[in-house]
Structure 1
């Protein structure tokens, strides 16, 4: 692939590799206006490609009976979840890393922790969610121990089954993305900016 071609590649609906390469992003000596543009690249990349499509499915599905888009919505959100954690940790290649990234996100995510009952271990339940949610849906398009609906708490573990309120899950995930972007917008978040830059530079072939 020529350099001219690579520079024209879209890294989000609004932005290209060329735009990214034109930013002056030094975490130690930040130009805040350039960093805010860089953060908008990530907002556009994740928001427009994944968050918005999932929300569109939620909006369309709410007036239909039965509600049939739950698994598609959750599959998109599982992708977003792992992507956010990858940026947080600066992981360039997710091969062999997906399990850890997914479990790290869920077991440290307060909305998920708040759903756990007495004696439930966050990392263990995160692993179950990964297996029955992310893996089952992405690998075979089905799961035998997870029910996705529109009522109840965000997540409920009961009798070996996992019940997910896909509307609440999506809303909380979108809020988490906004929290992460807010962290990146803080000039004092040097380490987070370094990890974000490491991953996005890799996406752009830098």
Structure 2
């Protein structure tokens, strides 16, 4: 019979869910706006900009974590500014885990949302502008509703990606039980320590949650 401590089991799950939820909301705001602009914009160097946006998709998470650690560490300008403002460094906090999750989730959500905006008939947007609608009104009442399925799918995929983030989180937030220990880092530590029952329990929870979220995302991407 498998015996698992309930508090030890649920703590990383609850923290991972909170981190992923906050990160995915941040990603949603920025990726929707950027995806809409990039889907409509035509300028020299657009391919370079999009390559930079999508770069975290192919970079090893440890590289992303290293860049974040250098950029947000106590010796960096941003790190010093954050510490002077909040009285503590941002590295090795749950807020750092949110940043890591948001960075790795952003390109996946952006790519899905951009495809949605590219599928919107631009003639409808042009007609609305001709009738006096502002760019914000076109975006809010035409572009977003017509691309809503892809936007929702992008949000869900971003949430799942953030939930499963390991390397970048470990680099910038560490693995502090109760503070920064997420499901992936908990699985790693449990496996390394020989606690296979806990590792299987967390892995099963992650697989089940990811499966359900992907099923929902697939429904939104179906025509």
TM-score between the two structures when normalised by the length of structure 2: 0.27
Structure having the larger proportion of residues in helix:
2
Higher RCO (C-alpha under 8 Å, 6+ residues apart) = 2
- Highest CA radius of gyration, 1 or 2? 2
